[in-house]
Amino acid sequence: MWAGEMSGHDAILGMDGMVPAGIRLDLADGTLCLPDEVRIQLTGRRPLYGEHVCSVEPERMTSVDAAQSLEVPLCPEPSETLWLTRGERWVSTVVKGPGKRLYLRITNGSDRTMCLSALSNWGCG
């Protein structure tokens, strides 16, 4: 795969080449994520969400034990569309709490304790 300046050209990267190379599309924020976690912003596309986005990020570095979960409260008024992201060793899901409260559950799918950086973005809505 070649990534670089291609002015005046359109490129189509097929999933057959991207998946084995460890490249994934993060459509929540419109980026192409390379194996070393370098993100390349996709161009020529409209944002999938407007200006009023409530990002779900940890306030500080957080650790989650193997096969355990962490629940984070979502905005009091989540939007109709909620984009979730996932990591190499964790998966995020939305769960209902008491009343109309929604929580984002981060589940560690590995056999080791993992640390989630304060720079992680778990989702937006």
Q: What is the pLDDT of residue 67?
A: 92
Residue with the larger pLDDT of the pair 30 and 111: 111
The band of 14, judged by pLDDT with boundaries at 50, 70 and 90, is low
Cross-strand partners of 55: 124
Question: pLDDT for 51-107, tens place per residue?
Answer: 566 667 777 888 899 999 999 888 766 666 777 777 788 888 889 988 888 888 999
Question: pLDDT for 105-121, tens place per residue?
Answer: 999 999 999 888 766 76
The answer for residues whose C-beta is within 8 angstroms of residue 7's C-beta and 6 or more apart is none
- Exposed, middle or buried: residue 38 (CB in 10 Å: 0-12, 13-18, 19+)? exposed
Query: Whole-angstrom Cα distance, residue 68 to residue 23?
Result: 27
3-class secondary-structure state, position 1: coil
For residue 85 the two structure tokens come to 């992201």
Q: What is the pLDDT of residue 18?
A: 66
Sign of the four-CA dihedral 42, 43, 48, 51: positive
